[in-house]
Copies of this chain bind each other. A is one copy, B any other.
Amino acid sequence: MTDQLFIRNGTILTMEADSPVIENGSLLVENGEIQTLGPNGSLALPSRARVIDAADCLVMPGLVNCHTHLPMSLFRGLADDLPLDVWLFEHIFPAEAEQINPGSVRKWARHSCEELLLSGTTCCCDGYFHGDEVAGAALETGIRIVAGQGIIDFPAPGVPDPEKNVATAVAFVRRWAGRSPRIMPSIFCHSPYTCSATTLVAAKQAARELGVLFQIHVAETKAETGNITDCGDRSVVRYLDDLGIIDDATLLVHCVWLDGSDIAIIKKRGAGVAHCAESNMKLASGIAPVPGMLEAGIRLGLGTDGSASNNNLDLFQEMDMVSKLHTVACSDPWVMAAKKVVTLATLGGARALGLDQKIGSLARGKRADIILVNLKKPHLVPVYNPFVTLVHGAKGSDVSHVIVDGRIVVEKGELTGRNRP
């Protein structure tokens, strides 16, 4: 017996390349997979299907958040109006040492998963400690996740002995490999200034052998190269490339301080980039050269970063910020047009994570990660161009339904309850 879901009467934004918007469209999901989609009349309603009426709604792929630290919602607003180094070393690291344990990680990761789902994000890419708890929270709440176990060269939550940081991450990946189609374990090295060259090389080597994504914070601040012992006068990207860290299964997070040759290296190696505009603005880190990276053809997605440095996980707000920030920074109103930004938050994010064969757009054969945005709100009327409405008008709170892997996890703006595997 099949599990069928039929969404009808919606304006479908497939986010497939060159695909037109389907007005008054329907979409059929079977066993978590998109079976077919098209104008209302072209699809017959299966007799046993659960039906969602998407009248007055946009139907689109769930948003993909390429960089989170889910348990850090515990520290949302703990320390603000500070630069990265002070924020991190004087506030966040000490607070983590005191308050982070398996129980708090589970609780606040769950909290963040719920916040993400309620605001239309169906997949996130996370990096933190106590990875089992993060992955467990994702499994329970129903979100899709790339869950990275953190590696750092000093005592960290759950990893008191830094000598065992790589081994801990490897064990985490092995425990979670193949356990759920929604959970993709990963290895997350915190940064080149908190991990030695030896650690970086060992961790990347392990990720390669395990066949998982390797994530790392890179070039977040201007001062970063000065804080890396072995960097010399190289750029951070050049330093990591010389170590053999950068390839098509690497996700470089932030990439604020890049020059043209750094962009060329990233493009040549085929790495993905997570752009975190709000975090970079809030911590006064700088403005990443996103138009240049896109022009070079780099796989780039959007991330909110953790709640402690944003302070929210709403990718709708991030889309608005990304569009307006680069528009004013480049003095070019066309450089980050609405459709391009929505693409970055959906298919672009999936590409950056290497998941675009599976999610990121609405197409036959893809997994059913779908959201409905309710347009019947004063601030979203009228709609001349749905992409503009999404970027400059909509908020996470306008999301009415969220479906992950074919399961309805948010209905009429409310969580449907815990979706245990």
A binding-site residues for B, Cβ under 8 Å: 73-74, 76-78, 80-83, 111-112, 114-115, 118-119, 278, 280-287, 310-314, 317, 320-321, 323-325, 327-328, 330-334, 337-338, 378-379, 381-385, 388-389, 392-393, 395-398
A337, B392: Cβ atoms closer than 8 Å: no
Inter-chain CA distance A398–B323, complex, in Å, is 24
Inter-chain CA distance A111–B320, complex, in Å, is 22
Measured CB to CB, the nearest residue on chain B to A286 is B328
A82 — which chain B residues lie within 8 A by C-beta? 333-334
A330 — which chain B residues lie within 8 A by C-beta? 284
Q: Which of B115, B317, B331, B384 meets A320, CB within 8 Å?
A: B317
B80, A337: Cβ atoms closer than 8 Å: yes
Distance from A305 Cβ to chain B, minimum over Cβ atoms (Å): 12
B77, A333: Cβ atoms closer than 8 Å: no
A76, B382: Cβ atoms closer than 8 Å: yes
Measured CB to CB, the nearest residue on chain B to A384 is B77
A379 — which chain B residues lie within 8 A by C-beta? 115, 118-119, 312-314, 396
Measured CB to CB, the nearest residue on chain B to A316 is B395
A378, B118: Cβ atoms closer than 8 Å: yes
Q: Which of B284, B333, B395 meets A81, CB within 8 Å?
A: B333
A393, B77: Cβ atoms closer than 8 Å: yes
**Given known A-B contacts A77-B384, A320-B317, A382-B77, A287 and B328 have beta carbons under 8 A apart:** yes
A393, B311: Cβ atoms closer than 8 Å: yes
A73 — which chain B residues lie within 8 A by C-beta? 381-382
A111, B378: Cβ atoms closer than 8 Å: yes
Distance from A24 Cβ to chain B, minimum over Cβ atoms (Å): 20
Most B C-beta atoms less than 10 A away, residue of A282, A310, A323: A282
Inter-chain CA distance A163–B384, complex, in Å, is 35
